[in-house]
Amino acid sequence: MALIGITRADTFDYVSETDPCRKTIQVPVDPGDPAQGMREEVVVEEGATVFELGVLDVFLMGMIYDKSTSITRNEGSDDVGFQTRINQTNIETVRFGLRGWRNFKTAVGDDIAFIPEKRFVNGREYLQAADASLNALGIRLIRELGQEIKAKSEVTGRDAKN
């Protein structure tokens, strides 16, 4: 089994678990043998909002985690703790990992424009989502998208083949 590396160019589409067009249905494990039971399968119907997400390189992830983590120490004690601002971590992750969206609408049905901006971080150029784009998402969706981006930004092992 080998490790699978990541590159900044790696992107993927994601439909939120709260999107009404995303459904979880029960399907037979083996259609020819009902005794095998059922399994869940995600089906995305037409009209879903699709978020275009990208992985973050080690330089960005390091900056995000360092910026949102602080060391705490109680006065008169040798105890040291770490405090991580989870929401800030997710906001920054989505700021850099969100590459665009399709079919994202206002309450009256108008398209919401995705606004990218260039930013330099530690001498490297990145595209990031503008604050106006992030404001359209809400904190719960930011959390969900942030978790997906962080999960895909990790090196994983290749599944063993029999």
Q: Is the pLDDT of residue 138 over 60?
A: yes
**For the chain, how many residues are written?**
162
**Tokens in use for 76?**
């008169």
Instruction: Write out the two tokens for 157.
Output: 């092992």
Q: Is 159 a residue whose pLDDT tops 60? A: no
pLDDT class of 162 with cuts at 50, 70, 90:
very low
**pLDDT value, residue 161:** 42
Paired with 117 in beta bridges are 128
pLDDT at 65 over 80: yes
Collapsing DSSP states into helix, strand and coil, what is residue 146? helix
Placement of tokens 């079919």 in the chain: 103
Tell me, what's the pLDDT at 81?
A: 79
**How much is the CA Rg of the chain, to the nearest whole Å?**
20
Q: How confident is the model at residue 75 (pLDDT cuts 50, 70, 90)?
A: confident
Q: Are 47 and 11 in contact (CB under 8 A)?
A: no
